[in-house]
Amino acid sequence: MAKAKGRADRFEPGLSHYYDLVLEGQTLELNAPGRVVLSKVRASDCELAIRDGVEPLLVDAEFRSCRITSATARSGTADDALFDGCVFHGLFEGWVFGGRLANDSLRACDFRAADLNDCELNRCDIDAQQFRGWPTIVFVTPAAHREALSKAPWPQTAEARIWLQTLLRTRRYPNAGVVVNAEKAARWMQADPEQLRSVVAELRGLALA
């Protein structure tokens, strides 16, 4: 959506649905408990602040040169949303970036100050994004590398086998990578996080940490 000449909308915190806004240089604070929807929102040089207890749903939205901060443990969905040159801070648990349309979801974004876990990055170039390193692990197109991932030295627990099958499942949209927190994943697997370092070393370019 092109920005109308002279248009400058104002963001009002506390709502559960925002639609058709053009914003620049503002703080977009999402603080209504439960699901909060941003649809057709175009933001540049803004801060998107997602408070605890919020479940964000971003649909057909664009964020350019924005700071994205999250304090919620609830999952988020960025369906057909674009983050271009954005910096992410805080906790991102179970987020899905990218969706139905063949549009980029992430362009040159910086996740070095973000704790990502069980996040799916669809329709993007993994190499063009920056991640914080260990304990963050980025599994590159896991479904396309089932054989290599299956042969890696995973912990020998039933939970680890279930976790691996979930990682290797075919996803709904073209998936560029899955990002996990090794410490949280190892805890779920009932294993030592150092065992996942061995997995990363074995997979080389297929797992980045």
User: Is residue 1 a part of any domain in this protein?
Assistant: no
Same domain, 80 and 165: no
d(CA 196, CA 165): 16
Please indicate, yes or no, if residue 164 is contained in any of the structural domains.
Answer: yes
Query: pTM higher than 0.85 for the full model?
Result: yes
d(CA 194, CA 196): 5
Amino acid at 89: H
The conformational region for residue 138 under phi > 0 = left, psi -120 to 50 = alpha, else beta, is beta
Q: Is residue 128 part of a domain?
A: no
In terms of domains, do 73 and 22 share one?
yes
191 found inside a domain: yes
Q: Which domain holds residue 24?
A: 8-115
> How far, in Å, are 26, 164, 165, 166 from residue 154 at the CA level?
45, 8, 12, 14
Does 87 map to a domain?
Answer: yes
Pair (96, 139) in one structural domain: no
Q: Which tokens belong to 18? A: 């925002």
DSSP three-state, residue 28: strand
**Are 34 and 108 within one domain?**
yes
Residue 109 lies in a domain: yes
Sheet containing 27-30: order of strands = 27-30, 47-50, 67-70, 87-93, 110-117, 130-131
Instruction: Say if residue 137 is in the same domain as residue 111.
Output: no
- 92 with 164, same domain? no
Note whether residue 70 is domain-resident: yes
Give per-residue pLDDT as tens, 132-189: 999 999 999 999 999 999 999 999 999 999 999 999 988 888 899 999 999 999 999 9
Overall domain count for the chain? 2
Q: Are residues 39 and 75 in the same domain?
A: yes
3-state DSSP call for residue 106? strand
**Encoded amino acid at 26, one letter:** Q
What does the pLDDT average to over 14-25? 93
**Are 70 and 152 within one domain?**
no
What pLDDT is attached to residue 5? 47
